[in-house]
Amino acid sequence: MKAKYQEEKNTIIRELIAIGVPENQAEIVGDCFAVADAWGVTSHGIRILPSHIDRVKRGGYNLNPSLNIVRQTVAFAVVDGDNSFGPVSADFCMHLAMKKAKKVGIYQVFCRNNNTMGPAFYYPLKAAEEGLIGILFSNSPAQMAPFGGKEKMLGTNPFSAVIPVPGGDPIIIDMATSVVAKSKFKEYKEAGKPLPAGWALDVDGKPTTDPDEGMKGLVLPMAGFKGYGIAMLIDILSGLVSGASFLDKVGRFYTEDNACMNVGFCCIVIDPKVVLGEEYEQIINEYVASVRNSEKSGNDPICMPGDDRLAFYKSGE
């Protein structure tokens, strides 16, 4: 797995440098995409590199961004992503939050003028590797309607949290607020299968299982009204409060213009040993053991969030 990851990362870096992307930025993007593939999140790996290369060639990214802190206190910072690669600005924000959290226990960074960041779990995973709890919220282009509506107003707004378990595997929570990624509709169409009920609405806001109608229409939020509420919360925290775009004003990636998408990020990092104390290591391991060893309903083992990602990563596929 390590050799495959490094080979893919090096390929991405070479291709980006060849079109004028500075080496330090190519390193971040290459690592981000290669890690996505290594953990089985192939929708956000090297397969999307050609689209990013096309955007670079069209002048859609600022390759010399000034990632300025425009407002800062002991509790939070606001950063301007300056139309950089999404992974570049998100990486900057997460590392800023990590640095501050080690001193004060918890720190939050808001960021505006960003582009799509790729796999959400990548950034909190970096925090967890240093014993920190990492959390990331991001809004995204509108694909969902308000409850009872038919107009695209909210993105599928992903969030991720990675919780370190010293001596064990981290707990990885990573999801969009839609019931499924809209890209799944195309997979069902190509397979000649109807969509499962509860996945999509057509352009008139009516339930549909037709993949074509779903692609033209709307994806539904996870857990109904609850998912709708979480999507709105993320939109407000990461978009509105950061000074980025929100609701249906968030720009789309696949456009012919060179405008920044103005996606908003919100990074939160907690140092559990500052907040709780050195006993965190023992307590979190006891927590995981209690869940793992709880009574099973069948023959399958008890699962923790992220087990599927970890299994793929460890398999070396």
Residue 265 lies in a domain: yes
For residues 239 and 246, the answer to whether their CB atoms sit within 8 Å is yes
Residue 13 lies in a domain: yes
The full 3-state SS of 17-73, as one line of letters, equals: HHCCCCHHHHHHHHHHHHHHHHCCCHHHCHHHHHHHHHHHHCCCCCCCCCCEEEEEC
Residue 201 lies in a domain: no
Beta bridge pairs of residue 219: 200
Q: Is 23 left (phi over 0), alpha (psi -120 to 50) or beta?
A: alpha
Residue 189 lies in a domain: no
For residues 112 and 262, the answer to whether their CB atoms sit within 8 Å is yes
Residue 207 lies in a domain: no
Q: Provide the 3-class DSSP secondary structure of residue 237.
A: helix
Widest pairwise Cα distance in the chain: 56
Residue 210 lies in a domain: no
pLDDT of residue 9: 98
For residues 27 and 15, the answer to whether their CB atoms sit within 8 Å is no
Which CATH number belongs to the domain containing residue 247 in this structure?
A: 3.30.1370.60
Report the distance separating Cα 139 and Cα 134, nearest Å.
Answer: 17
Residue 166 lies in a domain: yes
pLDDT of residue 317: 62
Number of folded domains in the chain? 1
* Helix ranges, the chain (H): 2-18, 23-38, 49-57, 86-104, 122-128, 183-190, 211-216, 225-234, 272-275, 280-292, 307-315
**DSSP code at position 148:** T
For residues 121 and 45, the answer to whether their CB atoms sit within 8 Å is no
Over the stretch 68-79, which tens digit does the pLDDT of each residue have? 999 999 999 999
pLDDT of residue 183: 74
- Kindly provide the b/e burial profile for residues 8-29, where b requires at least 16 CB atoms within 10 angstroms of the residue's own CB: bbeebbebbeeeebeeebbbbb
- Tokens at 23, concatenated: 């080496």
For residues 234 and 138, the answer to whether their CB atoms sit within 8 Å is yes
Residue 287 lies in a domain: no
pLDDT of residue 130: 98
Residue-range definition of the domain harbouring residue 57: 2-178+221-274
Query: Which residues of the chain are modeled with pLDDT < 50?
Result: none
pLDDT of residue 316: 78
- Tokens at 151, concatenated: 């107009």
Report the distance separating Cα 20 and Cα 35, nearest Å.
Answer: 23
Report the distance separating Cα 287 and Cα 305, nearest Å.
Answer: 13
